[in-house]
Structure 1
Amino acid sequence: MSNKITISILLTSDIHGNILPINYGNNDKSNVGLAQLSTIIQQQKSSDRNHIVLIDNGDIIQGTPLTYFYARVCNIGINPMISVMNYMGFDAAVLGNHEFNYGQAVLQKSIKDSKFPWLSANILHKETKLPYYGKPYTIKILADNVKVGILGLTTDYIPNWENPNHIKDLSFENVVKAAKKWVPFLRNEEKVDVVIVSYHGGFERDLETGETTEHLTGENQGYQLCQEVEGIDVLLTGHQHRFLTGKVNNVSIIQPGDKGQALGKVQLFLEKQIDKWEIVGKSSELIKVDELTEPDPKVIELTKTFEEKTQAWLDQPIGKIQGDMLINNPLEIRTKDNALIEFINKVQMDIAKVDISNTALFSDQSPGLHSDVTMRDIVSNYIYPNTLKVLKITGKDMKDALERSASYFAPYNGKDIEVNLEFTTPKPQHYNYDMWEGIEYEINISRPFGERIVRLTYKGEPIDFDKEYHVVMNNYRAGGGGDYAMFQNKEVVQDIPLDVSELLANYILERKVIEATVNHNWKVVHD
């Protein structure tokens, strides 16, 4: 037995359903996914398989047409994400917030089919207050009898986003409180040599200065975990899709971005001190996937059947568009009324039987709808498995929500319209800018934040701040997601459980031909 060893902790996080290195919008090559990461992981294991711990930090089973097809169209057999993870030899996975998007049946089957434990110490049964998924932590004993404890934590902000039906039996304990309970337990009762906390959440403060970098809602508490919970050796993080390495209060931290663009690696250098192992050094790095990273052929083989079915489903024609619903300039789309956003809002209003709606252009990669529409067009534009809710809100709530959206634009510099860094850095949050139908409004970006809505009418009359209006929106926004606190705890007039992408497809299938229309009910202006 050696008296000096090195442990390598390998981390994936926020894979979001990406296995193959492709962009499903056009099937072009993209350096993302588990297939390429598997090659890198095998290379890492070849040097010292006996001292490696492989962990996924959450948001794995949702995010691509492949995972949507499995969850919503053809869920026979094992989830392809789980098949690949089983093959790759993960030691543990942590539940992310997007694990709940497809409901408990899909999640529970994924857990059941996994050859590794799923961890979350702070997701509790609402009645018993015990960990709902059974495993708050797991222990891996490595060569040389090194005992490694892995504690799983999940952002407790999930009730602000998720469909209540998907989490109705759950309660979400504060992650710091849970860590203060379980970290000492691992140290004192389980007598582990190393404590790894894998937290599907990120950082709320600058890692060096400690200054706040975002609203302290409790969504991200990584910095607080490092400062307040004694006994953590390594904090693995995610959720924010950042690329981070470093230390906070002598805790090694890492975050490997999203979609499998990089593998996180933390190394711990241990020495034997009489009867126990001591950590004498730490390092962390990100190993990025690039053009030279070959995908693992075994991963491609494991995915082949579902991938072929998914591609056939994506290419199914569902109808035609008369006019232009393509996107050439995403920023321009967000500055004046346009046919694509108007269409999505019209569908939402038709389904909900209300006359006010809001939606977002979720990503700058959204292509719009081609004249011959396929399912690929639908899922490339509406990339989340959102459902719809109709809320009863006041005119004041409506104004506040529009002001929140209006903060998407940076103060006008007299030349170009620019996006506020809050919506682009450290990760793009274009999905938090809403565009409305059924009301008339103008956003003046020359005005200060909070005073930018210069016209707001409904059926030609000024909005009454005290009056209540029924508005249809996606479930993420209805829960207050994206700092839309004015929508939290509002009366839900109607809950529409079908995915919006399915509603859009059905709408086109029924009508066969959709005319692109623009009624110019809103625009962005400046002095």
Structure 2
Amino acid sequence: MKLVFLHSSDTHGFLLPTDYQDKNDCDAPFSLSRVSSVIKAEREKYGADHVVVTDSGDCLQGSPLASYAHSTGDYADLAIFTEAYNKVGYDARCLGNHDFNFGLDYLTYYIDNNRAPMINDNVLDEETNVPAFGREYTIIEKNGVKIGILGITTQYIPHWEPKENIAGLKFVSAFERIKHYAKILRPQVDVLAVMYHGGFESDPVSGKATEPHRGENEGYKILTEIPEIDVFLTGHQHRRLNVVTRDTAIVQPGYRGEAVAKVILEIDDQTKKIKKMSTELIDTKNYEPDPEIVDIVKPLDERTQKWLDRPLAKLSEPAPIENAMKGRIEGAPFINLLQQMQLWFTKADISATAVMSEKAKGFGKEVTMRDVLLNYPYANQLCRVKLTGKQLRHIIEHSAGFLKKNSDGTISFIDRWIKPKPMLYHFDVFYPVEYEADLSKPEGQRLTKLTLHGKPIKDDQIYHLAVNNYRAMGGGFYPEYSMDKIEFTLDKDYVQMFTEYLTHADVKVDTKKNYRFY
């Protein structure tokens, strides 16, 4: 017999096929509504008793629709949001790191109103050391085959979330918990599957390291050291991944519901042993949105579209960014405006930021909510960090290490930050320091200029840096950042900050370029 797993992850609240750039465009090649249509078609093809449907988190945050549902303060909107995911008909789910962004009350409501079992093995109550919500595992039966499902998320969440969003919780190694539960569950089932909101620190086939092994992603360690797992259903890295290696089927379905990951197991009817396994990714762009999902979400979407077009502020001059890639390397007025705002709120000496969206266009003279969320879609908070000049230099040197100089003299990003998953939201630029980096020099020795207001940065002098909490708490593999260096965190999100900053006075956008790579 055939047993089919259908897996989604990292839909990030894109319930309908739109990226919200244009309120009249609802034909984007992704969305939960398209995911649902794929799942319906596959259930019809194989029969519901042959199909297991799973999701590995990052559902509550990421889209303007998700931001609006949270902004109203009305859990009736969260109920609409939750019902759309319920309608898909998942057999089991786990949480992602961004599901904690809006706090524990919001998350608890979502979990309590989710009809699928939420599987949670490594987010514990810090006092009792038992799972803080959900259940440790579920066993379901499909056509006589017993399937055990475990669920874990990245242990790195405390590095990114404000303390109040994870109060009373303890995040432990995904590897350690799966190692423990796999031994318990394996003897009880014919097939063991693991949902993991996490990815791979090394290539799952070659074993070559793809990022520092700091615990954010433990997929390779799990794959190579826990042989009990048959099916590994992953997320978090937004990768498109489907491979069979080490007798394990591994999948990851990309971002925003662009694909549904599929695992097909051929199982012996008598022994219930797996005879063969294969994987594929089903692109959702080839499927029409599920009208049931559309009907549920449409009223919330209509209110979101009106909210997005609400004017927030007017600028005396535009603050554009020609395109995200060019802006990162050469600078742009919008990047400077963001840095100016961070300095205004924190009274810091220096500001650091990344271009957060590949579709960032910056601001025209009139700024709407849509503009803010499309340019800065993350629910970050702003911190002020205390650093020595030497530590600051290490941080800027690390950022310069993202880049290379090509034989034709052009500057581009090295492959590890683009493949297998683009991670350019980790590339920070700094303001109003003036700095230059010679990319022909060895890493760590590239800065040829680093000044603030015309004076060289001094190694032993204290400087105050404005940077978002994701970076300040260790996100992005930067050196020097640590919790003890955070002086304070603002209790505002970036929408609130932009609204306040752009309306407090006539803001003069700095259009000067203050850094150069050569």
Please state which band the TM-score falls in when normalised by the shorter chain.
over 0.9
On the 8 A contact 1:411/1:448 being kept in 2, the answer is no
1:204 to 198, 201, 204: 201
Partner of 2:263: 266
On the 8 A contact 2:13/2:59 being kept in 1, the answer is yes
Pairwise CA distance, 1:447: 2.7
Pairwise CA distance, 1:74: 4.1
Q: What do the CA deviations read for 1:103-138 (whole angstroms, capped 9, x no partner)? A: 111111110111112122011111111111141211
Which deviates more from structure 2 when the two are superposed, residues 214-223 or residues 99-108?
A: 214-223
On the 8 A contact 1:223/1:248 being kept in 2, the answer is no
Partner of 1:240: 237
- Identity rate, percent: 36
Partner of 2:400: 406
Pairwise CA distance, 1:337: 4.3
Which deviates more from structure 2 when the two are superposed, residues 34-43 or residues 444-453?
A: 444-453
CA distance in 1, matches of 2:404, 2:435: 19
The two structures have a TM-score, normalised by structure 1, of 0.94
CA distance in 2, matches of 1:294, 1:261: 13
CA distance in 1, matches of 2:89, 2:509: 49
CA distance in 1, matches of 2:134, 2:419: 36
CA distance in 1, matches of 2:421, 2:347: 35
Pairwise CA distance, 1:507: 1.9
CA distance in 2, matches of 1:212, 1:49: 39
Cα distance, 1:383–1:176 mapped onto 2, change above 3 Å = same
Q: What do the CA deviations read for 1:293-336 (whole angstroms, capped 9, x no partner)? A: 21111111100121111100100012222223122233332234
On the 8 A contact 2:337/2:509 being kept in 1, the answer is yes
**Within-5 A mapping of 1:243-392:** 243-273=240-270, 277-290=272-285, 292-392=286-386
Which deviates more from structure 2 when the two are superposed, residues 467-476 or residues 333-342?
A: 333-342
Pairwise CA distance, 1:263: 0.5
Partner of 1:231: 228
On the 8 A contact 1:161/1:475 being kept in 2, the answer is yes
The two structures have a TM-score, normalised by structure 2, of 0.95
2:42 to 44, 48, 64: 44
Pairwise CA distance, 1:503: 0.8
Q: What do the CA deviations read for 1:141-161 (whole angstroms, capped 9, x no partner)? A: 2233x2211100111122222
On the 8 A contact 2:411/2:517 being kept in 1, the answer is no
**Within-5 A mapping of 1:479-518:** 479-511=473-505, 513-518=506-511
**Within-5 A mapping of 1:67-216:** 67-77=66-76, 78-144=78-144, 146-188=145-187, 191-216=188-213
CA distance in 2, matches of 1:142, 1:329: 49
CA distance in 1, matches of 2:453, 2:322: 31
Cα distance, 1:230–1:426 mapped onto 2, change above 3 Å = closer
On the 8 A contact 2:5/2:51 being kept in 1, the answer is yes
Which deviates more from structure 2 when the two are superposed, residues 340-349 or residues 380-389?
A: 340-349
Pairwise CA distance, 1:488: 1.8
Cα distance, 1:385–1:79 mapped onto 2, change above 3 Å = farther
> What secondary structure, in the 3-state scheme, does the structure 2 residue paired with 1:322 have?
coil
Q: State the AA in 2 paired with 1:418.
A: S
Q: What do the CA deviations read for 1:266-308 (whole angstroms, capped 9, x no partner)? A: 11122244xx522222111111122x42111111110012111
Structure 2 unaligned spans of 5+ = none
CA distance in 2, matches of 1:204, 1:353: 37
CA distance in 1, matches of 2:419, 2:186: 37
CA distance in 2, matches of 1:162, 1:65: 20
**Within-5 A mapping of 1:442-521:** 442-511=436-505, 513-520=506-513
Q: What do the CA deviations read for 1:194-246 (whole angstroms, capped 9, x no partner)? A: 11111111112223222222211122221221221131111111111111111
On the 8 A contact 2:186/2:228 being kept in 1, the answer is yes
Partner of 1:22: 18
On the 8 A contact 2:239/2:254 being kept in 1, the answer is yes
On the 8 A contact 1:443/1:453 being kept in 2, the answer is yes
Cα distance, 1:443–1:75 mapped onto 2, change above 3 Å = farther
On the 8 A contact 2:394/2:479 being kept in 1, the answer is no
CA distance in 1, matches of 2:237, 2:73: 30
Q: State the AA in 1 paired with 2:272.
A: W
**Within-5 A mapping of 1:412-423:** 412-423=406-417
> What secondary structure, in the 3-state scheme, does the structure 2 residue paired with 1:503 have?
helix
CA distance in 1, matches of 2:358, 2:176: 38
On the 8 A contact 1:410/1:421 being kept in 2, the answer is no
Report how many residues are paired.
Answer: 514
On the 8 A contact 1:403/1:452 being kept in 2, the answer is yes
CA distance in 2, matches of 1:474, 1:364: 18
Which deviates more from structure 2 when the two are superposed, residues 121-130 or residues 446-455?
A: 446-455
On the 8 A contact 2:69/2:81 being kept in 1, the answer is no
Which deviates more from structure 2 when the two are superposed, residues 205-214 or residues 62-71?
A: 205-214
